[in-house]
């Protein structure tokens, strides 16, 4: 698994394509949505969690799609499938890589989000990081499975969001609700029901993806 992950990191260090796309789309989404709200309006603060998750999800779709496009060039995915490696391990390595790239992008997008929405976050930031991390793992777990399917279709850029976003709704709802409460000063135990939902989603889809990836990549 580490060989697979290291290979994705090597490619990213060289091309910087995934991180650049994640950052650009994340920042653009934040910028556009921050201008949609009056700086003096209370609505701006209330909308902040939704804006954060819209930026996370939009950029995430792009990054996950990109991670499988590298396997499509020169039919590299067939090279992986010919190796004596369990298909589930290939899936877990892809999920780990996608989470890593999305977390890295969030490390830059997050502080800019705080700045744009003028949020008093010093205490809430570690708690918000837990919510975002759990959400990203679940999103990458579903996304990596569907990206393996959609990358072999002609309309792959359209297909992935169409397959992924409806299934990722629980992540979005739990992520937005938990982030909203945490930005309002609540503790992690106050949002435990949403954290449990995120954790359950992560575990279920990691197991489902690990089991089904073999069929997703089969021709």
Helices (H), ranges, the chain: 2-15, 17-35, 42-72, 76-82, 87-116, 125-150, 156-167, 169-183, 192-216
Token pair recorded at residue 136: 């990203």
Please tell me whether residue 212 binds another protein under the rule CB under 8 A. Answer: no
The residue length of the chain stands at: 219
CB of 77 to another protein, least distance (A): 9
The one-character DSSP state at 83 is S
Neighbours of 3 (CB within 10 A): 10
Report the nearest approach of another protein to the CB of residue 71 (Å).
Answer: 9
Residue 156 engages another protein in binding (rule: CB under 8 A): no
Which range in 47-55, 79-87, 130-138, 205-213 contacts another protein by CB under 8 A?
79-87
Subset of residues 42 to 71 that bind another protein, contact rule: CB under 8 A: 70
**Binding-site member from 40, 82, 155, 169 for another protein (CB under 8 A):** 82
155 is a site residue for another protein (CB under 8 A): no
Closest CA to 58 of 143, 137, 131, 116: 143
User: Residue 153, interface with another protein (CB under 8 A)?
Assistant: no
Contact between 98 and another protein per CB under 8 A: no
Residue 192 in contact with another protein, rule: CB under 8 A: no
Closest CA to 93 of 9, 32, 168: 9
Is residue 64 within 8 A of residue 58, CB to CB? The reply is no
Q: Mark 172-191 with x for binding to another protein (rule: CB under 8 A) and - for no binding.
A: --------------------
Binding mask 4-43 for another protein (x = CB under 8 A): x-xx--xx--xx----------------------------
Contact between residue 141 and residue 206 where contact means Cβ atoms under 8 Å apart: yes
Shortest distance, CB of residue 81 to another protein, whole angstroms? 6
The closest of 91, 121, 214, 178 to 99, measured between CA atoms, is 91
Judged by the rule CB under 8 A, the positions of this chain that interact with another protein are 3-4, 6-7, 10-11, 14-15, 70, 73-76, 78-86, 218-219
């Amino acid at each position: 698994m580490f060989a697979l992950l290291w290979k994705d990191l090597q490619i990213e260090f060289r091309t910087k394509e995934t991180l650049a796309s994640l950052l650009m789309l994340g920042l653009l989404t934040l910028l556009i949505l921050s201008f949609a709200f009056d700086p003096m309006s209370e609505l701006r603060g209330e909308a902040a969690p939704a804006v954060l998750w819209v930026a996370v999800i939009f950029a995430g779709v792009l990054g996950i799609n990109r991670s499988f496009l590298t396997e499509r060039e020169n039919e590299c995915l067939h090279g992986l499938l010919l190796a004596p490696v369990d298909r589930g391990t290939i899936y877990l390595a892809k999920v780990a890589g996608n989470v890593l790239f999305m977390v890295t992008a969030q490390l830059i997008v997050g502080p800019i989000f705080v700045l744009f929405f003028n949020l008093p976050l010093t205490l809430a930031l570690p708690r918000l990081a837990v919510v975002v991390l759990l959400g990203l793992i679940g999103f990458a777990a579903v996304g990596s499975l569907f990206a393996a399917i959609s990358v072999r279709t002609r309309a792959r850029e359209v297909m992935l969001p169409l397959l992924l976003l409806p299934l990722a709704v629980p992540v979005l709802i739990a992520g937005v609700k938990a982030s909203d409460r945490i930005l309002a000063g609540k503790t992690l135990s106050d949002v435990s029901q949403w954290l449990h939902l995120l954790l359950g989603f992560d575990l279920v889809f990691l197991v489902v993806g690990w089991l089904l990836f073999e069929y997703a990549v089969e021709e």
